[in-house]
Amino acid sequence: MSDKNKPSKIILEPDQRKQLVNLERRFLLRGGLTLGAVAMLSGCNLQDGDEVDRVLWAMSHWNDRVQAWLFRKDKLAQTYREDQITRPFRFNAFYPEYNVPDIDIPNYRLEVSGKVDKKAPWTLEQLQRLPQAGQITRLICIEGWSAIGQWRGIPLKTFLQHIGADLTAKYVGFKCDDRYYSSIDMATALHPQTILALEFDHKPLPPDFGYPLRLRVPTKLGFKNAKHIAALFVTDQNPGGYWEDQGYNDFSGI
């Protein structure tokens, strides 16, 4: 637990998979943390057994403190330099790359619903006119890999303010054009590094990486970073998500 801000590569040997699946269950039960989150927080490489033991030991003692630290809502995820960007970036979805959805970009609209004043849909041009912020951050997938990328887009907080969202509501949910869905709690939605990304690597988001609009939330694991967002809604009922509903914990991040 030397450097909490140092994310690590999570490299799994085949025979460690089983052990790590068990560890994952224990972390989830004890602290609501996924292994990916633990690796990210601890900066530990979960590859070697001693390290895993050390993480386990540390977690059992540090859990409360870590959990408290996790909930500090303005804690920033680490940012990186341009030359640290992972090239090529890595694609992931619940389907193979050749099944990335075809999206009719000229007719694209972002639908908005739930606890918001203004429910009019948004064109890409309208979205592009809102203030944008860029970031170079690490996307960490629970499956055991991470990659540093550059995204630019509208801070979700700014967007929520524009649509007159009830910022005291509990969740923001996302529905995607590939039937994926996901959600984040309001504290995460208002975090300064949570953006509705329109650009990847200084260009409009390419199909693989979630065109035309994706959530980029570097304080959460990869699966919270909904790609191909078609609709956004604000609600007090936990909307869950594609992976969330299959047992990955909601919190999933720092």
- Contact footprint for ligand MTE (CB under 6 A): 90-94, 139, 141, 176, 178, 180, 209-210, 222-223, 225-228
Extract the runs of DSSP E, i.e. beta strands, from 131-176.
133-141, 145-155, 171-176
- Min dist. Cβ of residue 140 to Mo ion (A): 8
Q: Which is nearer to ligand MTE, 92 or 219 (CB)?
A: 92
219 binds, among ligand MTE, Mo ion, none (CB under 5 to 8 A by kind): none
226 binds, among Mo ion, ligand MTE, none (CB under 5 to 8 A by kind): ligand MTE
Stretch that binds Mo ion, among 72-80, 95-103, 137-145, 162-170 (CB under 5 A): 137-145
27 versus 174: smaller Cβ distance to ligand MTE = 174
Tokens matching residue 34: 């996924």
Q: 42 or 225: whose CB is closer to ligand MTE?
A: 225
Taking the least distance from each CB to Mo ion, the nearer of 58 and 141 is 141
Q: What is the CA radius of gyration of the chain?
A: 18
- What SS3 state is found at 201? coil
List the x/- string, 219-238, binding to Mo ion by CB under 5 A.
---xx---------------
CA dihedral for 159, 163, 164, 167, sign (positive or negative): negative
Nearer to ligand MTE, 122 or 223 (CB): 223
CB of residue 93 to Mo ion, shortest distance in Å: 9
DSSP for 79-137 reads ---GGG--SS-----SS-GGGPPP--GGG--BEEEESBS----B-HHHHHTS--EEEEE
CB of 164 to ligand MTE, least distance (A): 26
The least distance separating Mo ion from the CB of residue 145, rounded to whole angstroms, comes to 9
Closest CB to ligand MTE belongs to which residue? Answer: 222
Q: Helices marked H in 43-81 — which ranges? A: 49-70
Pick between residue 181 and residue 223 the one whose CB is nearest to Mo ion.
223
Structure letter (DSSP) for residue 246:
G
Which amino acid is residue 19, in one-letter code?
Q
203 vs 219: CA distance, rounded Å: 23
Choose the stretch contacting Mo ion; rule: CB under 5 A; options: 40-48, 133-141, 184-192, 245-253. 133-141
Q: Does 209 bind Mo ion (CB under 5 A)?
A: no
Structure-block tokens of residue 246: 């299959």
Which of ligand MTE, Mo ion, none has residue 122 at its interface (CB below 5 to 8 Å by kind)? none
Question: Whose Cβ is closer to Mo ion: residue 153's or residue 222's?
Answer: 222
Q: Kindly report the CA angle at 244 between 66 and 65, in degrees rounded to 5?
A: 5
Regarding beta strands 133-141 and 181-185, do their DSSP bridges make them parallel or antiparallel, or are they unpaired?
unpaired
